[in-house]
């Protein structure tokens, strides 16, 4: 179910929170609507394996504390995932109440629990530490943080290496702050440091040495650099890489990157993933009069989730389909438009989606003052130094334990799945933590 957002005309004018606050009464009423199905199909849809039936039942009797501990057991990013998980594709997709009227708003219920917990300072409690500094985690995104959190829950204090000034990974740098306010995410990932995990802000240059020094190593260093379009004009003023733009808007003031830029006129976003739509909604808020998302294939092939698209379209973001960027046009070093070649759909490619085939001689330009490129990321690099067996993307891992071909080295998150959801990264981190803890505590 879509979140309870502020109306589009209100939210598109500000970088402040786009979600409306939720009240206890709403949560109890919504929880009461739950049919409490026998086999809880929603839970099978949850990547993190949250005991949804149990937490919803707890909310029915206003037992927020119990609901919280049930969710945290499987996913410590309670409010975060309540906001940004694609529930319509996961838990809510399978809700039996859909047949009655509409699915239970599981994501919003989880958001309510998470936000109440932060407001009322319901901190997780950890057992006394049993073991220190035997585990290193590389990467302070959701997967790495989850591993640290769940290791701490097993009594193991890990060392977490993060090359950036702030932990939080993609949700911190790349998810617009009006979808996921910084203080809210900060509070949830803050529990990891509060629990005692040591965060070491340095770039790891020698993974081999690290693997030798620690009894277990968890690699969660995410994806590589953003892809470029490979067309003329990418260096013109006014051309942005989506990741860079999003990070500047989110963290610019903290990282001395400066204040967010001001946009004007039309902005064209190239891409069709969730990042493209995040960038489009950011572009609106930076002052664009009009924002156009231009995608190579048709709406059916678009990787962005329908509700995420809907959020942007509601705010006035326009969609142009079957357009291949060929050049970014400039005058006096500044972008003035994008030249596209029209495409039609051909045969399915390796991704199973129909391939865009250029139509001879069909060109068109869209005039604009900003271009944002949201074309995905290169696969992660660096892990090859450990000579691990490769999988479909990144190192190959055992799906139960997240262990790589090298014993004692584990990996998870975007690094191994090629870029998926935050909840998937949390699930990976937790799985690795469980396997690592079992091994260390068994010895």
Partner 1 sequence: MPTLQVDFLGSTLRNPFLLASAPPTNTVEMIARAFDRGWAGAVTKTIPLEKVPVRNVTPRIHSIAFAGFAEEARRVYAFGNIELVSEKHADYWMDGIARLRRDYPDRFLMASLMAEAAAEGDWVELARRAEAAGASAVELNFSCPHGGMPPHAVGAAIGQDTAIARRITRWVRAAVRCPLVVKLTAAVSDLRTLSQALALAGADAFCTINSFPVILGVDLKTHSPLPSVAGRGNVGGYTGRALKPIALRATAEVAPAGRPISGCGGITTWEDAAEFVLLGATTLQVCSAVMLEGYDIITDLCDGLLSYLEDQGAERLDDLRGRALHNVVPHASLDATARRKSSIDLETCTRCGKCAIACRDAGYQAINEAADRTPSIDEDKCDGCGLCIQVCPVWDCMVMRAV
Structure tokens at 323: 């357009």
Q: Output the CA torsion sign for 425, 47, 302, 177.
A: negative
Which of 9, 16, 102, 209: binder of partner 1 (CB under 8 A)? 102
Q: Does 25 bind partner 1 (CB under 8 A)?
A: yes
Q: Which stretch binds partner 1 (CB under 8 A): 22-30, 111-119, 180-188, 338-346?
A: 22-30
**Rounded distance between C-alpha atoms, residue 259 and residue 199, angstroms:** 27
Structure tokens at 260: 């967010």
Q: Which stretch binds partner 1 (CB under 8 A): 59-67, 174-182, 206-214, 307-315?
A: 59-67
**Rounded distance between C-alpha atoms, residue 331 and residue 344, angstroms:** 30
Q: Closest distance between partner 1 and the C-beta of residue 65, in Å? A: 6
List Cα–Cα distances, 284 to 279, 289, 314, 333, in angstroms. 9, 7, 12, 23
Q: Which stretch binds partner 1 (CB under 8 A): 18-26, 140-148, 191-199, 434-442?
A: 18-26
Which of 10, 13, 16, 100: binder of partner 1 (CB under 8 A)? 100
Q: Closest distance between partner 1 and the C-beta of residue 37, in Å? A: 10
Q: Does 125 bind partner 1 (CB under 8 A)?
A: no
Q: Among residues 22 and 84, whose Cβ is nearest to partner 1? A: 22
Q: Does 58 bind partner 1 (CB under 8 A)?
A: yes
- Provide the b/e sequence for 317-354 (b: ≥16 CB within 10 Å): bebebbbbbbbbbbeeeebbbbbbbbbebeeeeeeeeb
Q: Does 44 bind partner 1 (CB under 8 A)?
A: no
Q: Does 23 bind partner 1 (CB under 8 A)?
A: yes
Q: Which stretch binds partner 1 (CB under 8 A): 19-27, 214-222, 373-381, 432-440?
A: 19-27
If binding means CB under 8 A, how many residues of this protein chain bind partner 1?
Answer: 21
Structure tokens at 312: 């942007």
Which of 4, 6, 65, 406: binder of partner 1 (CB under 8 A)? 65
Q: Among residues 26 and 363, whose Cβ is nearest to partner 1? A: 26
List Cα–Cα distances, 295 to 56, 94, 176, 277, 420, in angstroms. 39, 30, 21, 11, 20
Q: Does 35 bind partner 1 (CB under 8 A)?
A: yes
Q: Closest distance between partner 1 and the C-beta of residue 389, in Å? A: 42
Query: Quick one: how far is CA 330 from the chain centroid?
Result: 33
Q: Which stretch binds partner 1 (CB under 8 A): 7-15, 27-35, 356-364, 425-433?
A: 27-35
Which of 20, 66, 236, 420: binder of partner 1 (CB under 8 A)? 66
HSE value, Cβ hemisphere, 13 Å, CA-based, for 50: 32
CB atoms within 10 A of CB 361: 7
Pairing of strands 239-241, 216-219: unpaired
Q: Output the CA torsion sign for 246, 251, 256, 259.
A: positive
Q: Does 38 bind partner 1 (CB under 8 A)?
A: yes
Q: Closest distance between partner 1 and the C-beta of residue 17, in Å? A: 19
Query: Quick one: how far is CA 112 from the chain centroid?
Result: 19
Which of 10, 13, 36, 367: binder of partner 1 (CB under 8 A)? 36
Comparing CA positions, the residue from 240, 246, 283, 247 lying closest to residue 265 is: 283
Q: Does 63 bind partner 1 (CB under 8 A)?
A: yes
Q: Which residues bind partner 1 (CB under 8 A)?
A: 23-25, 28, 32-33, 35-36, 38, 54, 57-58, 60-61, 63, 65-66, 97, 100-102
């Amino acid at each position: 179910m879509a979140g309870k957002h502020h109306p589009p005309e209100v939210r598109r004018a500000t970088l402040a929170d786009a979600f409306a606050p939720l009240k206890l009464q709403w949560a109890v009423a919504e929880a009461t609507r739950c049919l409490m199905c026998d086999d809880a199909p929603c839970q099978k849809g949850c990547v993190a394996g949250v005991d949804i039936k149990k937490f919803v039942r707890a909310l029915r009797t206003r037992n927020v504390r119990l609901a919280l501990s049930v969710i945290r057991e499987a996913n410590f990013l309670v409010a975060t995932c309540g906001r940004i998980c694609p529930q319509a594709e996961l838990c809510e997709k399978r809700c039996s109440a859909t047949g009655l009227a509409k699915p239970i708003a599981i994501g919003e219920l989880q958001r309510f629990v998470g936000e109440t917990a932060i407001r009322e300072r319901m901190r997780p409690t950890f057992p006394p530490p049993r073991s220190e500094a035997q585990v290193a985690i590389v990467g302070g995104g959701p997967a790495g943080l989850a591993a640290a959190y769940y290791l701490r829950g097993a009594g193991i204090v890990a060392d977490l290496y993060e090359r950036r000034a702030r932990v939080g990974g993609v949700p911190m740098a790349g998810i617009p702050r009006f979808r996921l306010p910084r203080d809210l995410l900060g509070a949830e990932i803050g529990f990891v440091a509060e629990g005692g995990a040591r965060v070491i802000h340095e770039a790891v240059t020698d993974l081999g040495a690290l693997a030798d020094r620690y009894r277990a190593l968890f690699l969660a260093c995410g994806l590589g650099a953003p892809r470029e379009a490979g067309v003329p004009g990418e260096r013109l003023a006014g051309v942005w890489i989506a990741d860079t733009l999003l990070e500047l808007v989110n963290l610019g003031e903290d990282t001395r990157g400066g204040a967010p830029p001001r946009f004007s006129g039309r902005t064209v976003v190239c891409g069709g993933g969730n990042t493209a739509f995040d960038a489009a909604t950011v572009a609106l808020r930076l002052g664009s009069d009009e924002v156009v998302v231009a995608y190579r294939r048709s709406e059916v092939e678009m990787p962005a989730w329908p509700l995420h698209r809907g959020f942007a379209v509601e705010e006035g973001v326009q969609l142009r389909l079957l357009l291949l960027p060929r050049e970014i046009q400039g005058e006096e070093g500044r972008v003035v438009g994008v030249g596209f070649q029209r495409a039609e759909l051909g045969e399915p490619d390796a991704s199973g989606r129909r391939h865009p085939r250029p139509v001879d001689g069909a060109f068109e330009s869209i005039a604009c003052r900003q271009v944002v490129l949201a074309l995905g990321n290169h696969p992660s690099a660096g892990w090859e130094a450990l000579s691990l067996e490769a999988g479909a993307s990144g190192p190959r891992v055992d799906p139960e334990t997240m262990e790589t071909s090298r014993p004692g080295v584990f990996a998870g998150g975007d690094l191994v799945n090629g870029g998926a959801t935050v909840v998937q990264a949390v699930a990976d981190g937790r799985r690795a933590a469980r396997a690592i803890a079992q091994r260390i505590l068994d010895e």
